[in-house]
Homo-oligomer: A and B are copies of this chain.
Amino acid sequence: MIPEASDLLEPLARVVRGYYDDLATVAGRHGLSTTQARALVALDRPLSMSALAEHLVCDASNATGLVARMESRGLVRRDPAPDDRRSKVVTPTPDGRDLARRIRAEMHSVHGALGDLTPTERAVLLPMLDRLGDLLADRHRRGR
C-alpha cells in the first residue's frame, strides 16, 4: 500500500493542531498571544519592523501595534537603525530573552510527545520533517 499525498493531509493537520494548542497554552500562561510568542521567539536575533512583519506573514502596519505592546511590557526595545534613518531595529530585552527561552522550554506537550517516541522513531522522523519543511519553504518562496 503506497500512501497518496492526500492520505497524509489529515494526520499532518492533527500534528499541526497539537503543536498550536500547546503553543497557545504556554503563551497564555505568560499573558502572551500566540503572535507575540512567535514574535518573541523570532527575535532571537534583532530584526527591523518590516523583517518582523515578513516573518509573521502579516502587514507591516500590524507590527507597529504588536511591538508597541511588547515594548510597553518591557520585552523588546525599538532603536533607530544605524545605517538607514527610516528604519528601526527591534531587539529583545534581557527579560524578553528569558521569556523566549521559557516559552521554548515549556512546550511540554510537544516536547513530551517527541520524548515519548523511541530513539529509532526520532531518527526516522527527523530527516522527514527537515525534508518536508524544506519543500514547504520552497513552495512558499516561489508563488505558493
List the interface of chain A (C-beta within 8 A of B): 1-9, 11-22, 24-25, 57, 104, 107-117, 119, 121-126, 128-133, 135-140, 144
- Asked if A109 and B128 sit within 8 Å, CB to CB, the answer is no
- Give the interface centre of A2, A121, A125 by most chain B CB atoms within 10 Å: A125
Question: A74: shortest Cβ distance to chain B, in Å?
Answer: 25
- Contact: A8 with B131, CB < 8 Å? no
Give 12 new A-B contacts, CB below 8 A, not counting A3-B119, A12-B19: A2-B119, A3-B122, A5-B114, A7-B126, A8-B125, A8-B126, A13-B19, A15-B15, A16-B20, A108-B139, A121-B131, A128-B128
Q: Quick one: copies of this chain in the complex?
A: 2
Bound-complex Cα distance A18 to B19 (A) = 13
In the assembled complex, the Cα of A11 lies from the Cα of B132 at a distance in Å of 9
CB–CB B111/A5 < 8 A: yes
Residues of B within 8 A of A2 (CB): 119, 122-123
When distances are taken between beta carbons in the complex, the residues of chain B under 8 Å from A126 are 3, 7-8, 11
Q: Which B residues are CB-close (under 8 A) to A13?
A: 19
* Distance, CA A133 to CA B109, complexed state (A): 11
**Given A11-B130, A114-B9, A123-B2; A139-B16 close (CB under 8 Å):** no
